[in-house]
Amino acid sequence: MMRIPEFKLKGTDEKFYTHKDIKGEFGTVIIFWCNHCPYVKAWEGEVLNIVDRFKDKFGFAFINSNDPTKYPEDSFENMKKKDYPVPYLYDETQEVAKSFGAERTPHVFVFNREGILVYKGAPDDNYEGNPTKRYLVEVLEALLKGEKVPYEETPAVGCTIKWKG
């Protein structure tokens, strides 16, 4: 059983956030994210719709852990150009991605109100649109109803995190 890893990261609004700052009434959704990845770009609209639908009940944050020397589009300065309705956090040391076991962008981690991991994987089963299984939505709906989540893990689909060194 994995608990939400502790972190303190700087957001694009220049404020620092911990896992406690992100927490929502029913749980916390952390999505490893970046600017350059075509999978993130493909899912962006869908994920933002999910955020809009559930942000009153769950806390959300995007975390970018990519090495900006390899991918300048993922630099903190370029992250600031995004106007997301949730904290967009910079994991400069990549330690937070490692503590979560994040491998790709996007990589979704959902924690229940007790801070225990209940789902990790992809937002849904089709980054090109028209999914048949909406993993994240179904997991959040189950948590709202106090039910067992229908998915605990799905393969993360996307670009690998661009590690330093």
Q: What is the pLDDT of residues 39-97, one digit of tens each?
A: 999 999 999 999 999 999 999 999 999 999 999 999 999 999 999 999 999 999 999 99
Sheet containing 16-18: which strands, arranged edge to edge? 16-18, 8-11, 88-90, 58-64, 27-32, 107-112, 117-121
Over residues 91-123, the pLDDT tens digits come to 999 999 999 999 999 999 999 999 999 999 999
Note the CATH architecture for domain 8-159.
3-Layer(aba) Sandwich (3.40)
Domain residue limits, the chain: 8-159
Q: What is the pTM of this model?
A: 0.98
Q: Where are the beta strands (DSSP E) in 33-115?
A: 58-64, 88-90, 104-105, 107-112
